[in-house]
Amino acid sequence: MEYLSFEDFATTVAVGIYVCVGALLCLHTFCPRLLTQVAGSVAKLTTGPMTLLSIGAAVGLLVVGIFGEDISNRLADADGQSKQYYWVFDSEKDMRDRTFRILVEELASARRLSPYALGEHESLLAQQLEAHPGKNLSRLSEEMEEARKGLASQIYYVAKNTLMNHDGYRGELQQIQTRIDFSRSFASYSAIFFLLALVLGTIQLLRIGITESPKPFEHICPRRWCFDWLATNSRYSRGKIARRVATRWVVVAGVFGLLFLVTRISFSAEEREFNLRTYGYFASLHVEELPTIYKNGDSGDAASEGAKHGGMLAEYGISGLALVGKDLLAVHDVKQPNLERRPYVSKISPDGTIKPMTLKNCTELPSDLEAICTIPERKGEILMAESGYYKGMFGRVFRGKVDADSIHINEVWNYPPETTDIEALVCVKHRGAYQLLLGNRNGTIHVADIEFGGDQGELQLKHLPLKMVSLPPETNDFNRKITDFSIDRAGSLYAVAANDPGDMHGSLGPFKSVVYQLGRIEQHDENPLKILEGDCLKWKVSGFKVEGLVVEDNKSITIGTDDEGYGGVWRRLSW
């Protein structure tokens, strides 16, 4: 169990004190009479109420500090989603990428990442242009830069969590993290007070006016809002009053602006130091101190150990599963450009051995594969589905023939434009013809007629008229209602729902998933899917984001997970 350190407590209280002092300074400068009235009321209190008020103020300081640090942390962790935040601070992803470039050779030589991430942009660009002469060079370069930043963040989270669990580095990094949180919170509040001073000062100047006027000052600015010494001296003209107000306004805003600049510089320096030490220390760790997904070596022992326990750690997250013969095929959501040269599909043998599969006859490599399924009555043939369109590209379904160590791509179809968030896929035989059922992350199910060996154009997706599935109450907040499909031998259709609170690079959970029976495949009805009514929950999986599912019979199932920074696991479960 972790306890709040003295440094964390002190910095949190310091932020709370700064917020209160800053608020009092703004009130004293722009609304002094209101502040005087409050102070007078407090002075009249007896000892008991005064004590309670003091305790309340102390607790309030701590609450304000915690609230401020929590808000700044959430904005920083938004990772590009909060544009207003990056008007004030540099993007943390960009800062990590700058540090990553400095230490990338050390990380590569220590075998902490693929050598293809060494920045060989020129050679990779040349390969892409040779394969696709009409490819837009600038767009490809931008995509590669974005992929590098994603790689930097991916390694960063694994490195950070590894070191935070290491006795030799935890204390040092926690001290730097405390300074980062303090300077970021301090700078955030300074920026807020700076903007508040600008707004209040502008309002005061507009109320006072700039031109000369013989009217008493009280008619221009009521006593309850303005400086006492100005409100009682009607000999001052509007111009003189405005200049005096502007002077104080500039001084107060200048103080907050200067504090913001100083703490912002401090934040950037501490963040850079933290990133340098995180990547540097991670590169220097002995192989036995690394998390399992980064260990190199013979997988035979791990495979046999995994087979013995009915499952094992996968090097990459699994986004879809299918049973082909006695082997499991797992697809990975590798996105283009694939700088790490990660496999798109892996085969898991009955003994637990995992090996990558080569894609043959694939002129345009897939990006973000999310689902895989077999084709009824066509032995060894599979369909693989991408999640959808990205920047006008991808959004495809592939048909392939599985060999011992490769998949030969035979046909490719496209989704309709703007199709996104496809997570699940099954192929069924309905009234003598083949149909696809595609599950969307939001719970929508599409159906498409498909003919093999015919036109390879655009799939025509139709929405199935579905009733709401009766999921357990704890899944109401799940942001992925469907992550995979599987059909058992009796024709029952099962699905997975999962929750990922981060849904971004480096998300570290907490994850949770459920396996439920969605309905039954009807061979002869007009609607190929009949939704199950009543209790449909089959399994709860806490701590994992299940994205792959295979249901063989009514006794056992196989799941595959994509746990982001943690990699993934596959294992068998009994009903």
Query: What are the boundaries of each domain within the chain?
Result: 6-90+175-284, 92-169, 297-574
Separation in Å, CA 118 to CA 140, 232, 287, 537: 17, 71, 20, 47
Q: What pLDDT is attached to residue 398?
A: 94
Q: What's the rounded Cα separation, in Å, for the pair 150 and 336? A: 12
E strands in 88-144: none
Cα separation values, 254 from 25, 192, 208, 222, 425, Å: 13, 13, 21, 26, 60
User: For 79, phi and psi rounded to 5 degrees?
Assistant: 55, 50
The amino acid at residue 404 is A
d(CA 480, CA 370): 13
Closest CA to 381 of 449, 329, 324, 457: 324
Edge to edge, the sheet with strand 546-551 lists 311-314, 568-574, 556-561, 546-551
Give the pLDDT of residue 419. Answer: 85
Q: Which CATH architecture has domain 297-574?
A: 5 Propeller (2.115)
* Residue in the block written with tokens 């496809």: 422
Nearest in space to 128 (alpha carbons), one of 104, 147, 109: 147
What residues of the chain score a pLDDT lower than 50? 1-2, 79-81, 114-127, 210-235, 292-313, 504-506
Q: Find, among 161, 155, 178, the residue nearest to 266 by Cα.
A: 178
Q: Are 312 and 569 in contact (CB under 8 A)?
A: yes
pLDDT at 99: 79
* DSSP code, position 2: -
pLDDT (0 to 100) of residue 383: 96
Separation CA 506–CA 521 (nearest Å): 37
Q: Is 25 exposed, middle or buried (0-12, 13-18, 19+ CB in 10 A)?
A: middle
> What confidence score (pLDDT) does residue 430 get?
84
Interatomic CA distance for residues 494 and 513, integer angstroms? 13
Compute φ and ψ for 427, nearest 5 degrees. Answer: -115, 130
Residue environment code for 126-151, b if the CB has 16+ CB neighbours within 10 A, otherwise e: eebeeeeeeeeeeebeebbeebbbbb
Q: How far is CA 574 from the centre of its chain?
A: 32
360 phi/psi in degrees, rounded to 5: -110, 155
Parallel, antiparallel, or unpaired: how do β-strands 406-414 and 354-360 relate? parallel
- pLDDT tens, position by position, 373-418: 999 999 999 999 999 887 778 889 999 999 988 999 999 998 888 7
Cα–Cα nearest to 353, from 322, 376, 384, 330: 330
Q: Give the DSSP letter of residue 475.
A: G
pTM metric for this prediction = 0.49
**Which DSSP helix (H) or strand (E) runs through 450?**
strand 445-450
Whole-number Å distance between alpha carbons of 318 and 548? 6
DSSP 330-347: EE----SS-TT---SEEE
Contact between residue 422 and residue 389 where contact means Cβ atoms under 8 Å apart: no
The pLDDT value recorded for residue 219 is 42
